[in-house]
Amino acid sequence: MNSDVVSKTRRELLGASALAFSCAIIGVPAMTTTAVAADYKKNPFTLVYAGAITKNEPGKVNIHPVTYKLNGLDIVANVYTPANYDPQNTYPAIVVAHPNGGVKEQVAGLYAQHLAEQGYITIAMDAAYQGGSAGEPRSTDKPQFRIEDIHGAADFITQYPGVDSARLGLLGICGGGGYSLSAAKSDKRFKSIATLSMFNSGRVRRNGFEDSQLDSIQERLRQASEARAQEKAGGEVLYSGDADMTDEQIAALPFDMYRQGYEYYWRTHAHPGSTFKYTTSSLLDLMRWDATDQIELIDQPLLMIAGSKADSLYMTEDAFPKATGTTDKELFKIEGATHIETYWVPEYVDAALGKLKPFYARTL
């Protein structure tokens, strides 16, 4: 593929996929509530969320950066241990899967820390090929890899000192929520599953946000196929979701999730490991996948949480009734919250935790 064609393809993919970016998709910086910037450089663990741990202290929740192998790749993660943690005791544990484009230092870490405050050992890991974890090409975003990340985190945390492997829970946020649904279908080590602002990456990559790109599916598949062919022939790795839009293009984005996502990921909670882009060839895997495929295999307790004003709410409302394999399930809407606001706005985080705490206490 010559340079003119490459440039044209990149422009087409950027334009055609503007409505199909992930939860980390950019938009106009226009949050309804002003966030206080969190500078990763000022935190020794590079955490960017409000109230993040800055040092480990006896008797308090502590954070433990770890690295483990998954299919030959080094995966980096943060393990949070409860106050007065004693490895000779036993504790329930929760795996927390981050949003598309996100890293463990952002919202996944926020919820992992809060759950550790409730007595759980929690783990938030960077997906393989993303963040601080290994894997090439960088920013590969394939469902099978993201699902394997969740299985791998379970492998690691169930061997962690003090963890009761019979009391393992799962929390998936945004894209991590869709992948958590898929992982939990077969991985019965997870005794209960919760999602927050679930994002069905396959459906959005295939159909566009709010199913707005149904007429371009075949063309986008052809572009992804060409991108894979070029990549495998040793050519340039093409990316979709590049955050290089002009202010005017950003302002034209129609959805709250994109506008507020821009401010969250680029301004108030920015982290160098977090990126919007993903390899265009990943679309071959994403577009034929769906978070709700065989969701009836989930027979564990299921809690799905989303903001009542989230423009991504339709994905949770679509998935929930399809989870027919469990009778222990609840869909909870946080009144007034948009998708991104469930990541950081204190009253909405508190509302989510207000459901997560009794759910895990009962099921784990």
Tens digit of pLDDT for each residue in 93-122?
999 999 998 999 999 999 999 999 999 999
- Residue-wise pLDDT for 282-340, tens only, equals 999 999 999 999 999 999 999 999 999 999 999 999 999 999 999 999 999 999 999 99
- Residue-wise pLDDT for 222-247, tens only, equals 999 999 999 999 999 999 986 666 66
**pLDDT given at position 243:** 64
Q: Does domain 3-363 have CATH number 3.40.50.1820?
A: yes
Mean pLDDT of the chain: 89
> Average pLDDT, stretch 173-200?
98
Measured CA angle at 129 (ends 123, 135), to 5 deg: 115
Report percent pLDDT > 90 for the chain.
80
Distance CA 208, CA 212 (A): 5
Distance CA 90, CA 120 (A): 10
- Residue-wise pLDDT for 197-217, tens only, equals 999 999 999 999 999 999 999
Instruction: State both tokens at 286.
Output: 């994403």
| Peptide linkage before 137 cis (omega within 30 of 0) | yes
Domain extents for the chain? 3-363
Q: What is the DSSP string of 224-284?
A: HHHHHHHHHTT-PPPEES-S---HHHHHH---HHHHHHHHIIIIIT--TT--S-EEGGGHH
Residue 277 pLDDT > 70 = yes
For residue 29, what are the contacts with CB-CB under 8 A and spacing of at least 6? 259, 262, 263, 266, 267
Record the pTM: 0.90
Q: What is the DSSP string of 169-224?
A: EEEEETHHHHHHHHHHHH-TTEEEEEEES---HHHHHHH-GGGTTGGGHHHHHHHH
- Find the farthest-apart pair of alpha carbons in the chain and give their distance in angstroms, rounded: 63
Using CB atoms within 10 Å of the CB of residue 60, give its burial: 0 to 12 exposed, 13 to 18 middle, 19+ buried: middle
Q: 123, 50 in Cβ contact below 8 A?
A: no
The residues pairing with 334 across neighbouring beta strands, listed in sequence order, are 307
More confident residue, 257 or 85: 85
Helix (H, G, I), strand (E, B) or coil at 130: coil
> Average pLDDT, stretch 258-274?
88
Residue 29 pLDDT > 90 = no
**pLDDT given at position 12:** 34
Distance CA 169, CA 155 (A): 13
What DSSP state is assigned to residue 113? H
